[in-house]
Structure 1
Amino acid sequence: MRNQSIKFTGIRNGYKILTLCIFTFFPLWAYAQSTTPAQEVLEFYQKYMINCDHMFSNGVEKKRDGLFCNMNIEKYITKELHKKIISAYKSGTYSNLTGDRNYFTHTQDFDARWASFMSVTEIKVDRNNSVIRLLMNFPKGAGEPLAVCVRLHRESSVWKICQVDPSLYTDLPDCRDN
């Protein structure tokens, strides 16, 4: 009787090995893929709106730790934007930067229920930069719709917010002429 050992050569066994490798490494590859800029913006704004609502509805005094609604903001914004906001806050010029509103939403109020009324539109995407229009279509009685233009920059494989444009002439900018 001949000893039957597993052979790793030949076309048939090569396909088996290739198939095994694909099924083994595909989940890791799929997990490593980054989200789209639009998904990143929507995720951030929904979490931000909910966190800010909880923070301010509980009567928490606005201080530097609460400036970003106690979120891990570095996950979502560039270091440059973080420095810009902190610098403006420390120097007392935050209202000049935001027009007496929140930098990210350009509103003065927060309501966790508004998170479900947000939608995003991809305006422009290239290799490392993106412009996303975030529409906050508030529920009846909560105000007129409002949109902001969110600019993102890719750092490695992660999209991060680098600027949020205020609505200068209209509450519903199209984000196309910037």
Structure 2
Amino acid sequence: MVALEHQTSSREPCTLDWHIAMRNQAIKSSGIRYGRTLLNACILTFFPFCTYAQSATPDKVVLEFYTQYMSTCNQPFDRPPGSISESLFCGLDIDKYITKKLQEKITSAYNSGKYGYLAGDADYFTHTQDFDAHLTSSMKAKVIKEDRNRAIVRLLVDIRTNFAKPFAVCVRLQREGNNWKIYQVDPSLDNNLPDCKVS
């Protein structure tokens, strides 16, 4: 084998093999740097979307829904003729918060004249005869039970006045994709402050 040598600036002999090895090392390093840069760019680009895709916690979903629902239903609302679903849910984007099955159940009960039986002659979601938007400032939601696909949240409206007492409802949610949606609201029955610990 013929070793070709040339002098470096430090006067040390350097073989052609060493020169090729150093050049390959530089190419590998630049490839690694390029790979890291590309990976960082991907992370920075897609991280916000991944974060956005993750759902809110069940208690946050319940608070958001009840705040929207109670505030929207408390406003004057022009009900379009023939739109029972719009009327029942005050024009709220209900698909965002409740399952299709629950929406159909409420609509069917209303159409058949059995809504009073379904909701106990009260609003299905609050189980009260009437409610006011100011109640939203007194609401607290607490996750009672949660597994991978189901959750139970206790929504407490902690208002104490001469005319009103605290009341609570048990809200059941299920995961649909990345979102939690309400599939049932348990009536309070005899107890105005249910513990929501029933299975």
Which residue pairs with 1:163 in the alignment?
A: 184
Larger relative contact order (CA 8 Å, sep ≥ 6) = 1
Q: Structure 1-normalised TM-score?
A: 0.86
CA distance in 1, matches of 2:115, 2:40: 56
For structure 2, the 5+ residue unaligned runs are 1-26
Map Cα deviations across residues 117-173 of structure 1 (whole Å, 9 max, x no partner). 111000111111110000111253451011000001111111111000000121000
Give the distance between the partners of 2:122 and 2:71, measured in 1 at CA: 17
Q: Which amino acid letter does the alignment assign opposite residue 39 of structure 1?
A: K
1:125-140 equivalences under 5 Å are 125-138=146-159, 140=161
Deviations for 1:20-48, whole angstroms, at most 9, x for unmatched residues?
22212111111111111111111000000
| 2:120 equivalent among 99, 109, 112 | 99
The structure with more radius of gyration? 2
Give the gaps of 5 or more residues in structure 1.
1-5
Distance in 2, Cα, partners of 1:52 & 1:94: 17
CA distance in 1, matches of 2:108, 2:29: 62
Identity %: 54
Q: 146, 165, 176: which is aligned to 1:144?
A: 165
- 1:13 CA drift (Å): 3.6
Q: Is the 8 A contact 1:8 1:14 kept in 2?
A: no
What root-mean-square deviation, in Å, do the aligned CA atoms of Structure 1 and Structure 2 show?
2.5
- What is the TM-score when the length of structure 2 is the normalising length? 0.77
Q: Which moved more, 1:144-153 or 1:27-36?
A: 27-36
